[in-house]
Structure formats: C-alpha cells, structure tokens
Chains A and B, each alone.
Chain A
Amino acid sequence: MGGLNKMPIQDDKTIYTLASAAGRAGVAVVRLSGPSCAQACEALTGAPPPPPRQAVLKTLRDPHTKEHLDHALVLFFEAPHSFTGEDVLELHIHGSRAVLQALFESLAQNPSLRPAQAGEFARRAFENDKMDLTQAEGLADLIDAETAAQRRQALRQMEGDLGALYKNWAADLTQLLAMSEAALDFADEDIPQDLTKGHNKTISVLIEAITQHLCDNHRGERLRHGFVVALLGAPNVGKSSLLNALVKRNAAIVSPIPGTTRDIIEVSLDLGGYPVTLADTAGLRETADQIEHEGVRRALERATHADLKLVIMDASQSAKPDPTISALLDKDALLVVNKIDLVKNQSAFPQNALLIAAKTGEGLEHLTQTIINKIETAYAPTQNPTLTRARHRYALEKTLAYLKAAQTATQDELTAEELRLALRSLSQITGHVDVEDLLDIIFGSFCIGK
C-alpha cells in the first residue's frame, strides 16, 4: 500500500511450474528452479540429483505417504549452467492429469517450494543474464496469454461458490485491516477507541474457515476421483451396462473405490487423459419400500454433487423422458437414450439426446467424446487447473499463517503488519487491494480531519 505492494510476491524460494504445454500430452515436463532443487529431488526420488545434464529414470514417490506417483525421467542442471542460471530440476512425467495433480500435491507439501508466478522463470533468467533480451517481448506475449487464460479461469472460479467464498474472506480481511490502520494512523482523530475490539474473533472465524477449506475431506477424494459423472435413470434402463461398456473401452486405470454404499457403485477411469469417476446409482422411481427409497435419495444426492449427469432412458419404453427424469436435465446433464438398437424410429427422441446401445457399442464413441468435451470446457483449455489450484493453495496457506501470527501479535502495529501480509497473500487470488481502498473505507466510516 503503498503498504500493499502490488508486485507479485518475489522471494528467493525454489519455484515450480508446468513447463510443457498445458492440456493432454504424452509427456509433461515439470520444471523447478532455485536452491532447493537437490533437496526436492531427494525428497521425491530418495536420491540426490543425477549428474548434470544426464537423463535418469526414477520412481517418484510422495515424500510423506510414500505413494507411488509415476516413473519419471529426471534431469538436473547445475547453476549457473541452466535456463535460469539457478539450479534447475526437470521431471518428465506421463501427461495424465491425475499424475500431474498428484505430483503438484506432493510439491505443495514441501515448504521450500512454491508455484511460480507468471513470468517468474523468465525473470530469473534475466536476472542471471541467461536470457537473450531480444526474446523478452516474445516471452511477454506468452506470459500474457498465460495470464489471460489464468484470468479467464480465475474469473470462472470467481463466479462460482468458491469465488464468493474467497471474495468474502478478502472483504472481511480488508475491513479488518482498514480498522487496524484507522486505529494506528488516525489515533488522534475523533474515532471510536474500540475499533479493533472484535478483531480477534473475526480473525478466528477466518482462520477456522480457511483451515476447513484447506483440509476439506472431500478435496483429496475429488483430486483422486477427478471429474464425477453420475449415471441416473429409472431401474433397468441399462445404467450398469453403460458403466461396464465405458469401463471396458477405457480401462486404463480402473479401480473400485472402497467405502461406497451398496447403492452407488463408483469406478474411476482415465478418459482421454482426465481422471473421471463414474457413479452408478440406484434406479429412480416412486417407491414405498423404505430401503429402496433411501437408495433413491442417495442417488439424487450424488447427482447434485456430480460434475456431469448422464440421464438415461430406455428407448424401448417411451420416446419422451418422464417428469422425474426431465427435472434432472439442467446444463450439467446429458440425455442418453439407451437400447436404441431395439427401436426402428430413431427420430422420435429429443434432438439433443445421445442415442446409444450399450450392448452393441453403438454411439459409445460419440458419448465418450461428448463427455471429454464437457470436461475440457469445465477445465480451462489452455491453463492447467492443477497449477492454478496449487497457486491458490499456496496463497491460502500463506494467508492462514499470517492470520495466525496476527492473532498472537503483541502490539497493534504488528497485528496490522500480519493482516497486511495476509491480505496481500489472499489478493494473489482475489485481485489487488490498494492502500487507497483502505483509505476509502476509513474516510467513508469516520469523520477524519481537523
């Protein structure tokens, strides 16, 4: 802000990013730069980095859970003989999003590392005289594209529930800081003496909310499961056959998920490079049976949490979806008409319906592609959502740490300092807050000036 520096946080930490193009690819390159490359390599591979410029095949494991992440080609470039002039570690891994996600998760756990800001690799290269300066402009274009995509993605996230949540936090924090600053900068003015009275409580509430958000039980699940597709429909429309057919065609990493109810069967698979969970639910129908009723309730609940609903009807039963089914058809739903091989007149069905025969495989290729398209629209096509998430997580963890420090700070100006840094971290996600914004709040709230 003055006090809230607009410049991205730059420190001497080791940074990481996805260096290869985002999106589906056979191989993804994750690049690290900075003094902790060797340490990070040791943490992931259990061994120091290979000799400089030699590609070595290693098994990557999560340093904490020891979970197997992937086989990777590991390359090490020793400072100053690298792209950035710092130690650089390159991990060439399989291009699956599931693998990438798992790796970013592991990197995020390492306190010596943080996700790179836009342009930061280039910036470090420049600092160390490693960049041909005539390249700078081209690089700027690239970064602009990256930031534009990031902005689009951030915007999309910001429009959702998550965005509302982050924005509320930022608003609360801005208000807290404005009141703290008012008490410091305008202590000699005619303002209330108890401006920061409720602060510790508000800070506690924020800490609680962000902590909850960060260790949300569903998060890990979602990361493993990826995009959730729920199969819904009346009994015997062929949901299970469709599930089996899809699994058979895409049986890359099929694994049953433990802990699912007997009403819902979930299978995770790799659909075109994306981790996808298929959830087969109980048949939907009016019923007096207590147990079946509970099954229907759970099915509908699963449906509301799914990223995509496949609403399935039986071609041989009727040409129009019944009201229970129609009610499920929103923008996150696809209408699928199964057993199309059993009817002659295929034009009787709604235009947007996907016609398939799970048994014969007819229409399945088209359905798979439609699902992948849905996923790709949901994720930004040019920006890796995993990295954005890693950045958000890093920013939130920082915010949390500063809030905790604010709580225990012993003097008002130190509380304000921690709040300022907390807001600066959070504004990496929600957008810049300027000292003028604080002054606007202060001058709008109090009659200041003698």
Chain B
Amino acid sequence: MTAYIVKRLIAMLVTLWLIITLTFFLMHSVPGSPFNEERATNETVQKNLEKYYHLDEPLIVQYGLYLKSVVTLDFGPSIKKSSQTVNEMLGRGFPVSFELGIVTLIVAVISGITLGIIAALRHNGILDYTAMTIAVLGISIPNFVMATLLIQQVAVNWGILPVATWVSPKHMILPTLALATGPMAIIARLTRSSMLEVLTQDYIRTAKAKGLSPVKIIFKHALRNALLPVVTVLGSLAASILTGTFVIEKIFAIPGMGKYFVESINQRDYPVIMGTTVFYSAILIMMLFLVDIAYGILDPRIKLHKKEGS
C-alpha cells in the first residue's frame, strides 16, 4: 500500500510537471503580451516592465525561473493587478469555488444515484422513463443555458431566489442547480445501467434464495457493485464540475477562481494563467488518485499493491 502510494505520488509529480511545461510554452506561443493594449504604452516604460517581469529573457530562462518559483510554491505577482500576488488570488477565490464545487458534487452524486436506482427498479416503467427523460435533458442542456434559464424563471419571473452573487446559502441554490444537472444526469444513467446489470447477477439470486428482503438485496448486495463504474467517472466528473465553475461563476458573479482564470487569459496575465492552471491540475490529479483509492476500498478484488495471493 505505502509503496503504491509513493509510486503514485511520483507519477503525479511527473504529470504535474508535464502540465506546467505544456501550459507554459502554449501560453507563450499565443500572440500578444500583457502590455499589448489599445492604449499605447511608452516604449521605455514597457521595456522596464518587461525587464521587471523577466519577459525580456529567452523563453527557456523564463521557464527555468518559473519552475523554481513553483517548487517554492510562490506563483509570483499578477501583472495586471499589480497589488496582488497569485497566491493571494487563489487564497481568496479557491474557498468559494471549492464550496460551489463540493456542494454541486454532493447534490449531483446523491440525486443521480437515487434517480438511477429508482429507474433501475422500475425498469421500463413510468418512473424509469421519467427519470431517464430528466437525465437526457440534463446531459443535453449545457450548464450556461441552464443557468440563464434558471435566472430568468426562478429569479426574475418568480422572484423567489436572488439573481446573482454569493452572500448567503440562498444564493448558492441556483448556481448549484445549474452546475449539478449535467453530472447528475450522467451519474443517473450510469447507475441505472450498471444497477440493471448487477440485478441479473447470480449472487443477487443467491441473496434472494437466502430470504433477504428487497431493501437489503438492493442496498447491501447490488448497490456496492453497481457503484464501481460510477466511482470511475467521478474523478473526471469532478474535473468537469470544477472547470464548469468558470462559466457559472462568471454568470452568477461569484467571486471564485473562475473569474481570475477567464480574465487572466484575456489579459495575457501570465503568472495568473499559470497559477490557476497548475492549481487546478494539482486538484484534479489528486481527485483521480482518491478515486483509485476508493475503488480499492469498494472492490476487494482490486489490489493497490502488487503481490498478495494471485
């Protein structure tokens, strides 16, 4: 187990380094610079600025400097918002994004699994068709469309919930809903199909022959096996939820990381682009790692270490 974790950690560091390298060179290959604006800057001022941010050095030197700063966990100052460092931005934005992401994930997982189970148990019944129609809609409607529809209907027409911003739990409802429908639908469909498959397995018949109640059969014998594929997609779903927050945060004016991320790209704010990307990547890699660990816990046949038995 420990050997496996150490091995995985090394692999994760390598992955992160690759992401940093790719992002760094891709970012610099995009035309333009932070100081390319409609309002022309004084040439000497621009030179001095470039010198200050090491933008005048060869790319490879800048890359080396950047790697050094990442290792010390200092993502440097923002070029555009000169009073702030990237670390400060992340420190302020991340808790908000994290809150939105986690709440969304919880809502999506719980409602998705519930819908999936109901659909599987009422296979080809009205409830099944209803649940799957909701799921197909959920998958087909992009979250930004969902968000605007929700704002129009719930916030503007009915006036029940606030339109935007992030102040009280009440403000969290609409963005969470908008963000959760897609993943919820994916989880619901996956749970349904894998539940249907598991319910035809021999060991379910064995459980029935033991005289167990349907509730016990479903929750103790079927669900755990049915959730394995769901756990597998959870890693990448977490990714899509986190990246989904970019747009949703923008629409609902939520002061999370997404705002900085989108703005930084438009403004070629190199340190902020790099900082947010690296930070997100680290989180995603971590998520995938946790999913693998969870997999081993759910299914005893999957071993996280190499040798024990066969």
A binds B: no
